[in-house]
Structure 1
Amino acid sequence: MVKAVSFVAKSGTGKTTLLEKVIVHLKSRGYKVGVIKHDAHRFDIDHPGKDSHRLTAAGADTMLISSPEKLALVKKHSQSPPIEELIETYFSDMDIVLTEGFKKSGMPKVEVNRQERSAALLCRGESHDPTLVAVASDAKLELDVPVLDLNDAGAVADFIEATFLK
């Protein structure tokens, strides 16, 4: 079973920026890292004018484009599959999968907290999320889980490595 941890926060807090840096640290340590980004909105990686877009527009339910260095899959569905299914299907060759979003999942979570964005925590506010394993914040917080320095991606990577990869 591939290990996975979700980075959660309110929009605009810096999840993607922190994840970018954590990925660089984990890759430099030799780990194979997968990433899944949750998008509550509609997105399109298929652009008008491209053959792949034409094939999808023609009605293909699944379209995969492959080159010597990467592949992209466009698979239509009526609802997003469970995160566990996505990890099992597409990430079995990874050491760890980092996800962005998926606040309501049962996966372990690191909450990203930037005080100027919001002093309130998602996982330790009105509700107590038992899957919270740490908070990466720019403030000194007193919590029942480790509080990591939001501005020290190396320390966040150390925590991920020690908790999920060792």
Structure 2
Amino acid sequence: MRVVGLAGWSGAGKTTLLTRLIPHLVAQGLTVSTIKHAHHAFDVDVPGKDSWQHRQAGASEVLVSSARRWALMHELRGADEPPLGALLQKMSPVDLVIVEGFKAAPHRKIEVHRAGNGKGFLFPDDPGIAGIATDAAVETNLPVAHLDDIVAVARLIERSAMPIADVLAGRSPDLLD
């Protein structure tokens, strides 16, 4: 498995870009999974449903299964949020895991930047950023692709992805290769 992230300020278009990248990468024959970091409480469960009631009653984990999918929800119940490496170890093997968020974690990232967002670039302060997907002009030695050029952004993703073993070992993404 190889891992790469999409990092950027809220509103930069990370999710929109990711939902355009996944079908392209899958069409290239890759298996792709994602990890999405949320900065707030979120729920994948519908209040009132059985699985929601199980969690509300205090279950540490609730696995919901059907003929179409299964999902495992794990309640931290006050424990610390697990680091990216621990979450990656829970993933089933695929060719590529794309991490949305976790911008402070030590893995390679493609910065997603939208000029209309009014925020600065992350890359000057993050050595893990290996490329930039933006709709703005930028002076940098990093590879840059336009946000709407899915083929070019996909190439950045594939070139920048690092082996999961390097992420788990905490190897600095800017020193690899």
TM-score, normalising length: structure 2: 0.85
Give the Å deviation of 1:74: 1.0
The C-alpha deviation readout for 1:80-120, integer Å capped at 9, x for no partner, is: 211111112224x1111111111100010111111121352
User: 1:146-157 residue pairs with structure 2 within 5 A?
Assistant: 146-157=143-154
Q: Which amino acid aligns with 2:157?
A: I
Within-5 A mapping of 1:1-166: 2-77=1-76, 78-91=79-92, 93-118=93-118, 120-124=120-124, 128-164=125-161
Q: Is the contact between residue 9 and residue 119 of structure 2 (CA under 8 Å) also seen in structure 1?
A: no
Q: 1:140, CA displacement in angstroms?
A: 2.5
1:101-149 deviation per Cα after TM superposition (whole angstroms, max 9, x unaligned): 111000101111111213520221xxx2111100101122121210111
Q: How many equivalent pairs are there?
A: 160
> Contact 2:143–2:156 (CA<8 Å) still a contact in 1?
no
Whole-Å Cα distance in 2 between the matches of residues 137 and 48 of structure 1?
38
Give CA-to-partner distance per residue, 1:17-61, whole Å, 9 cap, x none.
001111111011111101111101000112122111111112111
> Structure 2 CA distance, aligned partners of 1:143 and 1:119?
17
Q: 1:17 to 1:52 in 2, by over 3 A?
A: same
Unaligned runs of 5+ in 1: none
After the TM superposition, list the runs of 4 or more consecutive aligned residues in structure 1 that deviate by more than 6 angstroms. Answer: none
Structure 2 residue runs without a partner (length 5+): 163-177
| Identity across matched positions, percent | 39
RMSD: 1.5
Instruction: Indicate conservation of the 8 Å contact 2:8/2:14, yes or no.
Output: yes
| SS of match in other structure, 1:90 | coil
CA distance in 2, matches of 1:49, 1:139: 45
Q: CA deviation at 1:71?
A: 0.8
